[in-house]
Amino acid sequence: MSLTAGRAPVTHPDDRRAGPVRDLVAAMVANPAGETSASVYETGRLVGLAPWLPGHDVRVSWLLDRQRADGGWGGPGGYALVPTLSATEALLTVLRRGDHGPAAALAGAAHRGLAFLAGALDAGTPPDLPATDLILPALREAVERHLAQPPAGLAEWAGARLPLPAGLDPGRLNRVRGLLAAGRPVPEKLAHALEVGGEQARRAAGVRPAEAGAVGASPAATAAWLGRPDPGPALDYLHAVGGRGPVPCASPITVFERAWVLGILARAGVPLTVPESLVAELRAAVGVAGAATGPGLPADADTTSVTLYALARLGRPLDVSRLDPYDTGRHFCTWPGEDGASVTTNAHVLDALGQHPAHLGVAATVDRVAGWLVERQEPDGRWGDRWHASAYYATYCVLLALADHAPGAAARAAVDRAVGWLLETQRADGSWGRWGGTAEETAYAVLALAGAGRPEDTRVAAAIVRGRHRLSEWDGRADGPALWHDKDLYRPTLIVHAAVLAASWSDGESAGAGNTMIRIA
């Protein structure tokens, strides 16, 4: 890595690209809370929980505007279950309270939502989203309470029961509510979905808001804990995040956004000028137990490893021993007690460890994690993961981690298989995407191919050219579907924008482990 900290800014001949990078870094500084898309799920919960919060009518209208023709809300397939339950329950609550009109439009939307749910809830297992096993039973219960005596215009739904998807039951939800009722501490990661506690969530003794007022970095969880508009930090937080309308699933996302953006740009060799204050704040966010996405959320190995990687690429490394608490001996968990495992978390751990080759024991751990990742490759060459709906994101993360830090034959063969899958799945217009070509997924595919270490492969070169051409047709617009996993699908705007900028950069290859030009000012 070539580091020019403290020297004159690096100028790039194509200022059309350099300017947006400067603007991106400036946007992170200007808005420390971060930028992310609005969530149907979270907005629906706020409609039900906080009608007294400014922007209530805007939120109700926003939900109505986003209902699909089939009656659902949200993403394709099972991704519609949580947002549709939330929006439908919110509209039923508004009808019962009579705090938004006209009632006929609300009842019609609620009817269509119920009809969609009657079929969709029985259609299969929902995607692996955070707290789905709590949210689905809680919302189903709330909807059925409304249907015991339905609002006007919905008499045909009187006494209707909604099925739970196979494999789900209210057992864990009941245990969480028991903890809340007893005033016992709730695991920090569960605070993000505190709204599932119902009445037991209000001023729950076992839950403590962050210093800035947020509970679990969630508007819905904070509104559930607050209960009513009592002055204080929690109310101030809700006014700040939702006072004008719809809200995201998580805010703030300070560390997550900054680490991912800087790591993506640095890895791709994009010339950067980064404010000293931003770097200092990122370093300060890494404690003994690692780093959290933002205040009110627990530290996790994913955020910790990406932060450590970004800081190392910026020339301000920290000790990778912060990752030790997440090492299971086979792989790294996202947090202790995690159900399942994440390949992207482990790819990011591999990136972080790979920046510290001289650290005691790192080489053996790198080999172990690389082997674990290779074992989890799908037969067609892709990887999938629990934190993103698209295999292009997971494949990008793992392919680059293996290509940069795992020189063994098994890792090289896995990279080759992944390259083959990327080449085979490029669309005729040059894009990539799970449900349709998107700028985000195309950026991941281009970055993965450019960093795969195949400079002599003409097929790879041609695919990159077609992908970059498609990105140029989008002309820097990274608008597209929400693909990231939280309680609902969401889109971290600046992170996606960073990936598109990095993939569109005029250099023909990813920088990989070197050639990054960075100035810290």
Domain boundary among 216, 242, 268: 242
Instruction: Looking at the structure, tell me whether residues 116 and 195 fall in a common domain.
Output: yes
CA distance 498 to 440: 9
Question: 291-328 b/e with 16+ CB inside 10 Å = b?
Answer: bbbbbbbbbbbbbbbbbbbbbbbbebbbebebbebbee
Instruction: Looking at the structure, tell me whether residues 6 and 71 fall in a common domain.
Output: no
Asked whether residue 520 is domain-assigned, the answer is: no
Asked whether residue 521 is domain-assigned, the answer is: no
Instruction: Looking at the structure, tell me whether residues 400 and 347 fall in a common domain.
Output: yes
Dihedral sign computed on CA atoms, order 309, 311, 317, 323: negative
Asked whether residue 49 is domain-assigned, the answer is: yes
pLDDT on residue 3: 37
Instruction: Looking at the structure, tell me whether residues 156 and 180 fall in a common domain.
Output: yes
Instruction: Looking at the structure, tell me whether residues 76 and 138 fall in a common domain.
Output: yes
Query: What percent of the chain is predicted at pLDDT more than 70?
Result: 93
344 phi and psi angles, rounded to 5 deg: -70, -35
Going across the sheet that includes 272-274, the strands are 2-3, 517-520, 272-274
- Domain that includes residue 234, residue range: 40-242
The domain that contains 152 carries what CATH number?
Answer: 1.50.10.160
Asked whether residue 469 is domain-assigned, the answer is: yes
Instruction: Looking at the structure, tell me whether residues 292 and 409 fall in a common domain.
Output: yes
Instruction: Looking at the structure, tell me whether residues 124 and 29 fall in a common domain.
Output: no
Asked whether residue 519 is domain-assigned, the answer is: no
Question: Hey, how many other C-beta atoms are within 10 angstroms of the C-beta on 438?
Answer: 23
Amino acid at position 512, single letter: G
Strands 489-490 vs 484-485: parallel, antiparallel or unpaired: antiparallel
Instruction: Looking at the structure, tell me whether residues 69 and 110 fall in a common domain.
Output: yes
Asked whether residue 178 is domain-assigned, the answer is: yes
What does 441-496 look like in DSSP terms, one character per residue?
HHHHHHHHHHTSS-TT-HHHHHHHHHHHHHHHHHTT-------EESSSEE-BHHHH
pLDDT on residue 243: 86
pLDDT on residue 93: 97
Residues of the chain with pLDDT under 50: 1-13, 508-515
> Which tokens hold the place of 25?
């870094």
Domain boundary among 224, 242, 260: 242
Asked whether residue 277 is domain-assigned, the answer is: yes
pLDDT on residue 145: 96
Which value, to the nearest 10 degrees, does the dihedral of the CA atoms of residues 503, 507, 509, 513 take?
-90
The domain that contains 354 carries what CATH number?
Answer: 1.50.10.20
- Assess contact for 88 and 146: CB atoms under 8 A: no
Instruction: Looking at the structure, tell me whether residues 211 and 256 fall in a common domain.
Output: no
Total structural domains in the chain?
2
Domain boundary among 185, 217, 242: 242
Asked whether residue 224 is domain-assigned, the answer is: yes
pLDDT on residue 15: 57
Which stretches within 98-189 are classed as H helix? Answer: 103-120, 132-148, 171-181
Instruction: Looking at the structure, tell me whether residues 235 and 286 fall in a common domain.
Output: no
Instruction: Looking at the structure, tell me whether residues 26 and 59 fall in a common domain.
Output: no
> pLDDT tens, 330-354?
999 999 888 889 999 999 999 999 9
CA distance 201 to 136: 17
Instruction: Looking at the structure, tell me whether residues 236 and 257 fall in a common domain.
Output: no
> pLDDT tens, 410-445?
999 999 999 999 999 999 999 999 999 999 999 999
